[in-house]
């Protein structure tokens, strides 16, 4: 049995990790940290886990704790302080923060306003999008779990980029539920302020922009202009991205469809469909992708649950790869449908 711990376990992502790991047949959740909840039963703070875990939150992991993998559900800048000591102990790390997603420390500093303090491990980190990088993930000690918006966006665009079917800039119109903002309420996520509106935010400045661009550039070998605009949806879970790109002259709809099928027909967690639907993915680790061609423009669409395939589920999928489990272990359940 693989022994796991979660650092920063009191938020939505930590709760999802606990929910999934509590039923995983090969990974045992041994500890979860939370400074504000230390000493409190996890199932008391998260009643949906009653009967599934008898653990209490701890303030920090014991220094002599016997863990095979640690999931970091921590804010950015916190992970880079924790990763070196964990890796020195021979523990594999799956970081759900942004600290190891951007390979260039200068880009990280530009977008996050902090100097990266762990350049050595940053160079070793593997970007944890299994459908594109599973071979690299399999041999990694440190996995940078992707953000939810980048996961959704990149999975919708990857067949077009890998097959060289598009050119020029990419425009991403993205929409996500309020759980993506975390548990702490804000003015913009307060229900009366967002329940009857779809609100764009951080236009041109959202920190997932360089993450999306980094993968897009890597897949194409070019410097691609990515314009990313997120919106807040008046729902709790789920996200939808709609991306626009120009087709290379002569590319047909049939060639586009063939590209999607060739990339995703054998993938367990990506479904190629006509029009992706958020309800089909909520509560699951599945992502639906689809496309439409309008003149010389291809519209690439995707939907997923931002807390599962966009965060905790993908982290467990990465753990499955690291420890040689079938990728669907502990994750093979459908979306809620409503």
Contact 6, 29 (CB under 8 A): yes
Separation between Cα atoms, residue 290 and residue 157, nearest integer Å: 10
For residues 154 and 148, give the distance between their C-alpha atoms in angstroms, rounded to a whole number: 10
Helix (H, G, I), strand (E, B) or coil at 161: helix
Q: Is residue 113 left, alpha or beta, with left meaning phi > 0 and alpha meaning psi from -120 to 50?
A: left
Taking the C-alpha atoms of residue 7 and residue 90, their distance in angstroms, rounded to an integer, is 17
Q: Determine the 3-state secondary structure of 218 from DSSP.
A: helix
Q: Whole-angstrom Cα distance, residue 164 to residue 166?
A: 6
With contact defined as beta carbons under 8 Å apart, do 89 and 133 qualify? no
C-alpha torsion sign, points 160, 277, 172, 219 = negative
Query: Judging by DSSP bridges, how do beta strands 27-32 and 2-7 pair with one another?
Result: parallel
152 belongs to the catalytic site: no
Pairing of strands 226-232, 142-144: unpaired
**Pairing outcome for strands 297-304 and 69-72:** unpaired
Strand (E) positions, 139-238? 142-144, 166-176, 199-200, 226-232
Nearest CA to 123 among 96, 111, 105?
105
Annotated catalytic sites, by residue? 148
């Amino acid at each position: 049995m693989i022994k796991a711990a979660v650092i920063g376990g009191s938020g939505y992502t930590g709760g999802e990790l606990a929910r999934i790991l509590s039923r995983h047949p090969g990974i045992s959740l041994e500890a979860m940290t939370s400074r504000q909840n230390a000493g409190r039963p996890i199932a008391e703070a998260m009643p949906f886990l009653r009967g599934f875990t008898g653990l209490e939150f701890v303030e920090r992991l014991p220094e002599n704790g016997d863990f095979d993998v640690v999931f970091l559900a921590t804010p950015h800048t916190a992970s880079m302080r924790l990763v070196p000591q964990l890796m020195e102990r021979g523990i594999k790390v799956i970081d759900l923060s942004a600290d190891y997603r951007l390979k260039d420390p200068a880009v990280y500093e530009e977008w996050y306003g902090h100097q990266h303090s762990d350049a050595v491990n940053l160079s070793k980190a593997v970007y944890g999008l299994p459908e594109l990088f599973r071979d690299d993930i399999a041999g990694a000690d440190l996995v940078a779990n992707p953000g939810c918006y980048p996961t959704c966006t990149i999975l919708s665009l990857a067949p077009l980029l890998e097959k060289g079917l598009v050119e020029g800039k990419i425009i991403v119109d993205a929409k996500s539920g309020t759980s993506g903002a975390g548990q702490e309420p804000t003015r913009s996520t307060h229900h009366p302020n967002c329940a009857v509106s779809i609100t764009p935010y951080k236009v041109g400045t959202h920190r997932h922009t360089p993450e999306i661009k980094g993968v897009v550039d890597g897949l194409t070998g070019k410097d691609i202009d990515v314009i990313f605009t997120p919106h807040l949806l008046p729902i709790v879970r789920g996200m939808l991205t709609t991306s626009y790109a120009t087709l290379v002259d002569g590319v047909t709809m049939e060639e586009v469809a063939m590209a999607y099928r060739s990339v995703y027909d054998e993938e367990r967690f990506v479904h190629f469909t006509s029009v992706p639907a958020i309800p089909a993915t909520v509560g699951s680790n599945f992502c639906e992708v689809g496309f439409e061609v309008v003149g010389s423009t291809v519209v690439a669409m995707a939907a997923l649950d931002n807390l599962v395939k966009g965060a905790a589920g993908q982290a467990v999928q990465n753990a499955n790869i690291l420890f040689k489990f079938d990728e669907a272990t502990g994750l093979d359940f459908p979306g809620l449908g409503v």
